[in-house]
Structure 1
Amino acid sequence: MAHPIHVVTILLMSPLILAMAAIPCPPNTCENEIRWRIYLKQVVRAEPDVNQQNIFTPPATLFGTTIVNDWTIIDAPALNATVIGQAQGVHIMSDLASVGWYASLNIVFQGNRFDGSTLQVMGVLPPAGEWAIVGGTGELALARGTIKHKVVRATADTNIRQLDIHAFYAKSFI
């Protein structure tokens, strides 16, 4: 049987412990939300601007083709757009019907509010779709959300893809 002083101590401390564990963050102090439209420039063949490289092609099919990329992130779908980052990663033809590429990207931002911050993105790369934001670093620490994407300009050598980001990320207290 518990000693009466221990029971009293537990009863007195329990509300304090529960209160400490249940303290919510005041609004707008623990998490930020971002809605941001940016653009991705994928250059397939136009030297010297090519920003992806095929590293493996199976002999009989596209299935398994693996391409490494360092796509440019820009602020507008224009020739004079400002570079605001890079989408570095791989895309792999993992669909037997050869209609969708699996992509894993680390979007690294530069020269703006998010300079040096990253978003980790995964999903399928059809002409239009949605990717999952599964993490982030720097100002975008612990990011989670989605990026809706669609091709808004295409030539034989270059695709410009509109990225509509909707994410939540941890507010930095450091």
Structure 2
Amino acid sequence: MERSTAIIGLALILYIAAAPVHSEYYSKSKPAVHMEEKVTHLHFFLHDILSGKNPSAVMIARPNRTDDKSPTPFGSVFATDDPLRTGPEPTSEIIGNAQGLYLSSSQDVTQFTIVMYIDFAFTTGKFKGSSFGVFSRNPVVEPHREVAVVGGRGKFRLARGFVEVKTAHFNGTSGDAILEYNVTLFHY
């Protein structure tokens, strides 16, 4: 008798687990509310520091190669929480931070290139709480380069645009860099 009760109990559990679920796909579309597109220009300096006791970027993965002595060898992945400052000086005002990842993507050390996904968030001023995202190839050795803005949040919702990047300072031994950012954002 116990065995038949157990079998009936198991059958009941399987029946309940296999019972059809009735759900309905939900979708609601509304006509777009006309919003006026804005253009915002930003200028700041990103301080990417790999050296010292409190680096703002750290290597989280490295290829298994012993012949590459570069501070940023090909295939290395870095996590970053770089300060955004009003000037190139390490004491200039912090206005936000750049958090994300970058990958050393060039095998040719003379053509050092990274691929980056970084969110540029503002912590002060009229854009406090807003950010824009960059996902782009960045040929670091070029004196003037451009990276793509792929989105944003807060006041930069639906952002698209580009960033012109110039290297203000680079230390080839430590990998430390100070980069000047001129940003053009189109957003609503």
Q: TM-score, normalised by structure 2?
A: 0.70
Instruction: Tell me the secondary structure at the aligned position of residue 113 of structure 1.
Output: helix
Instruction: Tell me the secondary structure at the aligned position of residue 53 of structure 2.
Output: coil
Q: CA deviation at 1:24?
A: 9.6
Instruction: Tell me the secondary structure at the aligned position of residue 155 of structure 2.
Output: helix
Question: How far, CA to CA, are the matches of 1:124 and 1:43 in structure 2?
Answer: 20
Higher normalized strand content (fraction of residues): 1
Q: CA deviation at 1:123?
A: 1.6
Aligned AA for 1:159? A
Q: CA deviation at 1:39?
A: 0.7
The reply on whether 1:139 has 2:130 as its aligned counterpart is no
The reply on whether 1:59 has 2:75 as its aligned counterpart is no
Question: How far, CA to CA, are the matches of 1:63 and 1:151 in structure 2?
Answer: 20
The gaps in structure 2 that reach 5 residues or longer are 1-30
Count of matched residue pairs: 145
Aligned AA for 1:169? H
Q: Identity, % of aligned pairs?
A: 22
The reply on whether 1:120 has 2:136 as its aligned counterpart is no
1:68-79 equivalences under 5 Å are 68-79=79-90
Question: How far, CA to CA, are the matches of 1:164 and 1:116 in structure 2?
Answer: 20
Q: TM-score, normalised by structure 1?
A: 0.76
Identify which of 158, 161, 164 aligns with 1:148: 164
Question: How far, CA to CA, are the matches of 1:87 and 1:136 in structure 2?
Answer: 13
Of 88-97 and 143-152, deviating more is 88-97
The gaps in structure 1 that reach 5 residues or longer are 1-20
RMSD: 2.0
